[in-house]
Each structure stands twice: as C-alpha cells, then as structure tokens.
C-alpha cells in the first residue's frame, strides 16, 4: 500500500503518493483522476533512458496518449534557452490547455517543467515524478518552479502547484551516492527544524537508511513530505513559516557558489547547517550539546561538516550578502533553539559570522 499524503491548499490541494515501483501504476491513477487525456513527459536524457519507457508504457496502457521530450542532463540546462526550446516543441506538437506535462527527474527537471507548465498557454496541469532523494523530499512538493539566469540561480520563476506527486522509492537504487547523501542533508534538516521524534528516528535507523531498507526509506520520505506539506499549506509563498525550510541554506548557498558549484547543493547545506548551529550556540539560543548531537548525525551519514579550507572566506561573505533572501543588506539566518525548533533572526554579528566561516 502506498503512503498517501495531502498538500492542503484549498481547491489547489493535491496528493503525494509514495511507494516502491509506483512508476508502473501512474498511468492507471491519472486515467482514474481524469487530469488530462494527453501528457508530455519531460526528462533529461539520462533519466529518459532509465525510466522513460516504463512511464510511457504505464500511461499508454491506461489509454492516455503520451510522448517524451528530453534535454541535456545537468543544472546548465535549467535556463531560458532550454525553456524556450521546450515551449516551441510543445507548440509544434499542438499541446493545448487540456493536455498536461509530467516532470520525470530531479530538481532541475521539476523546476524547469513546473515553470513551463505555469507559463505555457498561461498554465497547463502538471505532475511531479521526482527521481532523486533531494527532489522527493523537497523540491517536488510546494510549487516552487523556475530557471537560472546568469545573475543567479532560480531568479526567474513562479509558484505553481502540481496536480499530484508520485514518489517511486525503487529509483533510489540507481542514484549516485553523492546525490543520495545530498538528499539526506535535507532529510536531517526536517528533524532539526520541526520534529525531534523524526530526528531520533534518523539516529536509530542510520544503518538501515544507508542500505536503502525499503520500509525505513519510505517512512523517512513520508515524514519529510508530511512536514513539507504542513509548512507549504501554512505559508505557500514564503512570507513567514516557509522560511524555516532555508535552515542551513544561507551559508550553504554561499559555500556552494564560492566553490563554483563543485560542492553539490545537499553537501553545502550540511556544512551550512553546522555553521548555523554554531551561530545559534554563539548567540546562546541553542545548547552546545544539541548542536553537537546534530553535527554528529550529519557526520555519521557521511556528510561534511566543515567549510573546506581552500575556499576563499571573503568570497563566501560576498555571496552571503548577495543572497536573494537578504533584505536591505541584512542577512537572515534560521537558527535552531533546540532539536525540533528554530527561529529566524538577523541579529547575528559580523564577528560571529567571521568566526563561523573560520570553523570556530
């Protein structure tokens, strides 16, 4: 039986289904729900090769017309040129408002396809089928869509919710280890920001999770999606509560950018979470013992906790100040006040930030 959750957004509410092998039953479910008679699956070339035929078969067997469009794999494709190319191809295929799009892939595919769905013909329905742990626990839920421009990541986009999210945990077996670890950083984030019991679950199930034990993985993903759904339902457009999801991301994004993106997002978030915990301890918001316990779990999952010494600290600071969430030159940090609760503050001194960037 799949885990079924709901993102409660009034008439834009939608379900999240989590199960091993669910890819093969998506067609039947979409046919029953009558979302569209024809779907275009959008995937990068690698994911299209791995899972495209399973998904197309599932759709066609259920009587749904389906085609696939692919684009070159990688963050470099999340741009306005690929967006324009895909838009033209949809128009050439005669896709109309009654048709739908399916994002099959990781965060790049989900963000790009979601933005395409929000904009093409001023909006067509879309479905998320995330295939990386990071996109399964974070980006496929909540309706943030968009592309990068040379001035920065995700600077052009829209809030646009999918009609459903189908999470197939079986696909994690083909995920490179680094990608899995990156996703686990976001998983730990949920425990720290909102759920002490989930944090304890992660401590206790560490070995099983790293071996991709089916039940533990499903429970883990389901809890993350439940927390994300609660937060998004309370604050869809990130004016308040949703900002807590940025725990570890303020310094994390700056580290990611200063490394010229050689440190992948999730690993940078792990480093950023430890840095935020140090800021919380320095401000007497969080007990040293709690901060140590979170850092120990991050480390036990094989994630980094320190900013690599070769990264230029001034460059990291420059990126911190230019973050798109910086307001009037003031950097806001999500700081834990214990395990399971956080607060958002800009009352962090420059000397504390300097000390943390030096790993102290």
- Least gap, CB of 224 to ligand GLY (angstroms): 11
Q: Does 336 bind ligand GLY (CB under 6 A)?
A: no
Q: Does 142 bind ligand GLY (CB under 6 A)?
A: yes
Single out the catalytic residue among 228, 256, 278, 317: 228
* Contact in structure between 209 and 184 (CB atoms under 8 Å): yes
Q: Which stretch binds ligand GLY (CB under 6 A): 138-146, 177-185, 189-197, 211-219?
A: 138-146
Three-state secondary structure call for residue 37: coil
Tell me the Ramachandran region of residue 343: left when phi exceeds 0, alpha when psi lies from -120 to 50, beta otherwise. Answer: beta
Q: Is 242 a catalytic residue?
A: yes
Provide the mask over 182-211, with x wherever binding to ligand GLY is found by CB under 6 A and - wherever it is not: ------------------------------
Give whichever of 125 and 252 is closer to ligand GLY, judged by the CB atom. Answer: 252
Query: Which residue, among 325, 337, 335, has the nearest Cα to 356 in the 3D structure?
Result: 335
Single out the catalytic residue among 78, 163, 189, 253: 253
Single out the catalytic residue among 57, 205, 238, 293: 238
* Contact in structure between 139 and 102 (CB atoms under 8 Å): no
As a whole number of angstroms, the distance between CA 287 and CA 307 comes to 22
As a whole number of angstroms, the distance between CA 158 and CA 146 comes to 6
Among 19, 138, 148, 256, binds ligand GLY (CB under 6 A): 138
Among 64, 126, 144, 157, binds ligand GLY (CB under 6 A): 144
As a whole number of angstroms, the distance between CA 158 and CA 142 comes to 11
- Least gap, CB of 187 to ligand GLY (angstroms): 13
- Least gap, CB of 245 to ligand GLY (angstroms): 4
Query: Which element (helix H / strand E) includes 288?
Result: helix 288-300
Q: Does 78 bind ligand GLY (CB under 6 A)?
A: no
* Contact in structure between 21 and 215 (CB atoms under 8 Å): no
Residue 150: HSE in the Cβ half-sphere, 13 Å Cα cutoff:
1
Single out the catalytic residue among 78, 163, 179, 186: 186
- The neighbouring-strand residues paired with 38 are 65
Residue 71: HSE in the Cβ half-sphere, 13 Å Cα cutoff:
27
Q: Which stretch binds ligand GLY (CB under 6 A): 61-69, 136-144, 290-298, 352-360?
A: 136-144
Single out the catalytic residue among 78, 163, 249, 278: 249
Q: Which stretch binds ligand GLY (CB under 6 A): 28-36, 238-246, 281-289, 308-316?
A: 238-246
Token code pair at residue 323: 């973050």
Q: Is 284 a catalytic residue?
A: no
- Least gap, CB of 188 to ligand GLY (angstroms): 14
Angle between helices 214-234 and 177-194 (to 10 degrees): 50
Q: Is 203 a catalytic residue?
A: no
- Least gap, CB of 24 to ligand GLY (angstroms): 28
Token code pair at residue 197: 């019991």
Single out the catalytic residue among 78, 163, 189, 242: 242
Residue nearest to ligand GLY (CB): 245
* Contact in structure between 293 and 339 (CB atoms under 8 Å): yes
Residues involved in catalysis:
122, 144, 186, 228, 238, 242, 246, 249, 253, 265
Q: Which residues bind ligand GLY (CB under 6 A)?
A: 138, 142, 144, 238, 242, 245
């Amino acid at each position: 039986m799949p885990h079924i959750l709901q993102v409660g957004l009034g008439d834009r509410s939608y379900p999240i289904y989590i199960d091993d092998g669910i890819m093969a039953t998506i067609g039947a479910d979409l046919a029953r729900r009558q979302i569209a008679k024809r779907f275009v699956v959008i995937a990068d070339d690698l994911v299209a090769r791995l899972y495209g035929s399973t998904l197309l078969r599932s759709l066609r067997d259920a009587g749904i017309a389906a085609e696939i469009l692919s684009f070159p794999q990688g963050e470099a494709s999340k741009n306005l040129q690929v967006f324009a190319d895909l838009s033209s191809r949809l128009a050439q295929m005669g896709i109309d408002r009654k048709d739908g799009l399916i994002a099959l892939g990781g965060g790049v595919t989900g963000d790009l396809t979601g933005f395409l769905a929000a904009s093409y013909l001023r909006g067509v329905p879309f479905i998320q089928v995330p295939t990386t742990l990071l996109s399964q626990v974070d980006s496929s839920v909540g309706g943030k869509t968009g592309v990068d421009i040379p001035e920065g990541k995700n600077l052009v986009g829209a809030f646009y919710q999918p009609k459903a999210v189908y999470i197939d945990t079986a696909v994690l077996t083909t995920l490179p280890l680094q990608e899995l670890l990156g996703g686990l950083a976001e998983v730990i984030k949920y425990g720290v920001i909102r759920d002490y019991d989930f944090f304890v679950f992660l401590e206790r199930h560490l070995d099983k999770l790293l071996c991709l034990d089916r039940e533990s993985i499903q429970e883990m993903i389901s809890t993350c999606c439940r927390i994300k759904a609660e937060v998004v339902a309370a604050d869809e457009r990130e004016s308040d509560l949703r900002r807590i999801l940025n725990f570890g991301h303020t310094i994390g994004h700056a580290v990611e950018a200063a490394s010229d993106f050689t440190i992948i997002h999730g690993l940078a978030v792990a480093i950023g979470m430890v840095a935020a915990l140090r800021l919380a301890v320095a401000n007497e918001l969080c007990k040293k013992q709690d901060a140590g316990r979170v850092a120990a779990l991050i480390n036990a999952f094989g994630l980094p906790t320190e900013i690599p010494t070769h990264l230029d600290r001034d460059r990291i600071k420059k990126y911190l100040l230019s973050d798109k969430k910086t307001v009037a030159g003031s950097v806001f940090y999500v700081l834990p006040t214990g395990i399971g609760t956080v607060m958002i503050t800009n009352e962090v001194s420059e000397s504390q930030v300097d000390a943390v960037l030096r790993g102290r």
